[in-house]
């Protein structure tokens, strides 16, 4: 009689709801950021002599603006690589 009770107990244990569902949990993992920081360009205005005329200064300033914008894009790309 005891054996029958144990067998019934084991059988009812197998008739439970089943295996619990697998839950996927995504956890952010810190990753080291290894980038090469771009070197600043040699700006054209720094190469001008002190007494340069206004046309040369304006041409150098326009060139500096283009150089600075390109340098900023490289810096922004380096920052994006680490995010």
* pLDDT at residue 36, as a whole number: 85
Q: What is the predicted pLDDT for the residue at 53?
A: 93
Please identify every stretch of the chain with a pLDDT value under 70, giving residue numbers as ranges: 1, 4-18
pLDDT at 12: 64
What are 47-62's pLDDT values in tens digits?
899 899 999 999 999 9
Task: Give domain limits for the chain.
Answer: 42-83
What is the structure's pLDDT at 76? 93
SS (H, E, C) the chain: CHHHHHHHHHHHHHCCCCCCCCCCCCCCCCCCCCCCCCCCCCCHHHHCCCCCCHHHHHHHHHHHHHHHHHHHHHHHHHHHHCC
pLDDT on residue 68:
95
Predicted confidence at residue 33, as pLDDT, reads 82
């Amino acid at each position: 009689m005891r054996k029958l009770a144990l067998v019934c107990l084991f059988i009812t244990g197998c008739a439970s709801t089943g295996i619990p569902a697998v839950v996927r949990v995504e956890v952010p993992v810190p990753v080291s950021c290894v980038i090469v920081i771009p070197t600043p360009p040699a700006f054209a205005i720094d190469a001008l002599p002190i007494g340069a005329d206004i046309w040369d200064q304006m041409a150098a300033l326009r060139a500096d603006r283009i150089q600075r914008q390109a340098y900023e894009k490289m810096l922004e790309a380096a920052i994006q690589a680490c995010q």
